[in-house]
Amino acid sequence: MYFCKLKDKKLMLQKLFGFDATQHKMRTEVYAGVTTFLTMAYVLAVNPGIFSALEPQGMPTGAVFTATVLASVVGSLVMAIYAKKPFGLAPGMGINAFFVFTVCLGMGHSWQFALTAVFIEGVLFVLLSLFKVRELIANAIPTGMKSAIGWGIGLFIAFIGLQNCGIIIADKSTQVALANFDKPSVVLSLIGLVICGLLVVRNIRGGLLWGILLTALIGIPMGVTHFGEIISSPPSLAPIFLQFEWSHILSWDMLVVVMTFLFVDLFDTIGTLIAVSLKADMVDKDGKVDGVGRMLMADAVATTVGACLGTSTTTTYVESAAGVAVGGRTGLTAFVVAFCFALALFFSPLFLAIPAAATGPALILVGVMMCMNTTSIDWGDYTEVIPAFVTILLMPLSYSISDGIMLGIIMFVLMKFGKGMKGIRQISPTMWVLFALFVLRYVQKAL
């Protein structure tokens, strides 16, 4: 009887998460899930911190924390059960900055308007995933460009981290400049960068999260951190739940914002997923990502649900590679990630009290981690290097992931075409279609 029950449990785990007892160990999968959670848990402090810029517009930071947790739980569960992959999901870095600083603060739209745009593009993503359009695009991007996308996103996230820390500031003459180290918050950021860096160097599990917490504690006597209680009931989600602005759904502005989100989310997701899969060694010799269709669908569903909850695009996290590195291979790892996020729901005062000076260093190091894969770029071929360099450079300088990818793809086609027939043969039909669409987009933007 005992062995029958044990066999039934193993069959259930295999059906739910793709867990094969002959190839995988439950202890390893659980350990990998906890590891992944610890490495990406900084999002619980960073995402509400970024959205705090919208609090004067009526978007409570506490509610964003709850939305962040629930979106992470839902996204990771879909990845665990549907895609059966060991990746954790949460509101993405970079795209959340686009939501807050570009759509709301830059373009002047309300956060309700932006959430509506995220919801619409999430539904569109589900449709694109059903028809395998996203999968086609992901597999069509050359291996070298995939590596460059990971690099570019890494630099972009690191740049946001430096700004949040106050280390890089605006300057009238040079646009950006290094800050004077005369503010306690800037000094704390530098201390935090060293602490987080050393913990990562020492391979401490969850080094980024522990670095954030330790930096926040050091900030108490410096007057930067102000802790109160640690455990409480979750902040109400009501102020931002299903808060859509349908009155402008047919406006030109909505179309522009939805299409912008569509491009940013499409290539942000593909770029991050490619970077994670490369890190996890889940890419075959032809550069195709194993199971990318189901992973993209999980991502699309998570984005749609996240918009309903009240947060920006939910996506696969590059830190998932940490769990893979310690042996995570199935959806059981992602399930453990979801469970850990659910527990974190009751620690909102702790995460919300952490200042940007403590979370900024984590963003910088996440950028470092995304820039570690350079082996796929053929540095001896200018038709590969020039497009890759354009992609890497323009993401942080244009403050746009999508522009970096689109201009990089345009440059890739032009460089290969200019090389002659040998280069033209290396341009896939999908890349030609993307080239035409992107050129038209920039022509339309110029008119």
pLDDT tens across 239-282, in order? 999 999 888 787 766 776 777 677 667 766 676 676 667 666 67
B/e letters for 110-149, b = 16+ CB within 10 Å, e = fewer, are bbbbbbbbbbbbbebbbebbeeebbbbbbbbbbbbbbbbb
How far apart CA 39 and CA 344 sit, in angstroms, is 14
Residue type, 331: G
pLDDT tens across 395-418, in order? 888 877 778 888 999 999 999 999
Place of tokens 């590596």: 147
Q: How far is CA 278 from CA 40, 76, 121, 157, 393, in A?
A: 18, 19, 26, 19, 21
Contact 363, 46 (CB under 8 A): yes
Query: How does residue 155 score in pLDDT terms, banded at 50, 70 and 90?
Result: confident
How much is the average pLDDT of 40-50? 83
Model confidence at 6: pLDDT above 60: no
Q: Give Cβ neighbours of residue 100 (< 8 Å, ≥ 6 apart).
A: 50, 51, 53, 54, 312
pLDDT tens across 327-345, in order? 778 888 999 999 999 988 8
> What pLDDT shows up at residue 373?
58
Specify which residues 175 forms β-bridges with: 171
Kindly report the number of other CB atoms within 10 A of residue 5's CB atom: 9
Q: Give Cβ neighbours of residue 178 (< 8 Å, ≥ 6 apart).
A: 167, 168, 169
Stretch among 48-62, 210-224, 252-266 having the lowest mean pLDDT: 252-266
> What pLDDT shows up at residue 326?
65
Q: Mean pLDDT of all residues in the chain?
A: 82
Residue type, 77: L
Stretch among 14-28, 55-69, 78-92, 208-222 having the lowest mean pLDDT: 14-28
How much is the average pLDDT of 140-145? 80
DSSP, res 443: H
Q: Is the dihedral of CA 229, 230, 233, 236 positive or negative?
A: positive
Q: How far is CA 3 from CA 8, 10, 196, 372, in A?
A: 9, 10, 46, 46
> What pLDDT shows up at residue 321?
67
Stretch among 177-186, 195-204, 267-276 having the lowest mean pLDDT: 267-276
Stretch among 60-74, 192-206, 364-378 having the lowest mean pLDDT: 364-378
How far apart CA 186 and CA 165 sit, in angstroms, is 6
Torsion of CA 185, 191, 196, 199, to 10 degrees: -150
Half-sphere exposure of 243 (CA within 13 A, CB side): 20
Contact 73, 298 (CB under 8 A): no
Look up residue 429 and give its two tokens. 């039909």
Query: How does residue 163 score in pLDDT terms, banded at 50, 70 and 90?
Result: confident
Query: How does residue 369 score in pLDDT terms, banded at 50, 70 and 90?
Result: confident
Contact 67, 18 (CB under 8 A): no
Model confidence at 153: pLDDT above 80: no
Phi/psi at 170 (5° precision)? -75, 145
Contact 43, 72 (CB under 8 A): yes
Contact 293, 135 (CB under 8 A): yes
Q: Give Cβ neighbours of residue 413 (< 8 Å, ≥ 6 apart).
A: 427, 431, 432, 435
Rounded (5°) CA angle 324-346-41: 25
